[in-house]
Amino acid sequence: MKISTFALPLAIALAALAGPALAQPGDAPLPEWEQLTAQQREALVAPVRARWNSEPEKRARMLRHAERWQQMTPEERERAHHGMKRWRGMSPERREEARALYDRMRGMSADERDALRERWKEMDPAQRREWLEQNPAD
């Protein structure tokens, strides 16, 4: 069975939390996937399987993300991890701002995006609210 690389970031995080199931004596590096025991593999895969089975309406999105993850370079993956961490730390209001900016920037050229970013940094909160009212997220 081929494991989707979408599961890799989740598996890494779960490995840290799995405790005794993945425990290694001393500071020995963890083995390659093929050398993991069945119990270790199950500890890594089970959460992804449970999510896949419990949320069938999200399967297509999960698969798209996994396929996109496989195409990313290590640098792109690091940027994606950083972005996910920032997103989790945002308030609902900041997330709405981010959605609106993303929706607007998606259709812009690189120069237009850079100009909007600079303009956004210079805006005070009232100007940003006004911009968001004029450019709501889809």
58 with 71, same domain? yes
Query: What's the pTM value of the predicted model, to 2 decimals?
Result: 0.53
Is residue 86's pLDDT more than 70?
yes
Rounded CA-CA distance 125/133 in Å is 12
43 with 110, same domain? no
18 with 35, same domain? yes
17 with 54, same domain? yes
40 with 53, same domain? yes
Is residue 16's pLDDT more than 50?
no
13 with 53, same domain? yes
Structural tokens at position 42: 């199950």
Q: Answer with the residue of higher pLDDT: 15 or 89.
A: 89
Rounded CA-CA distance 119/84 in Å is 24
40 with 59, same domain? yes
Rounded CA-CA distance 103/80 in Å is 18
Rounded CA-CA distance 138/133 in Å is 12
Domain total in the chain: 2
79 with 95, same domain? no
For residue 113, what are the domain limits? 91-138
Phi-psi region of 26 (alpha: psi -120 to 50; beta: other; left: phi over 0): left
85 with 96, same domain? no
95 with 80, same domain? no
50 with 32, same domain? yes
Is residue 3's pLDDT more than 50?
no
Cβ atoms within 10 A of the Cβ of 58, count?
A: 12
Rounded CA-CA distance 118/138 in Å is 23
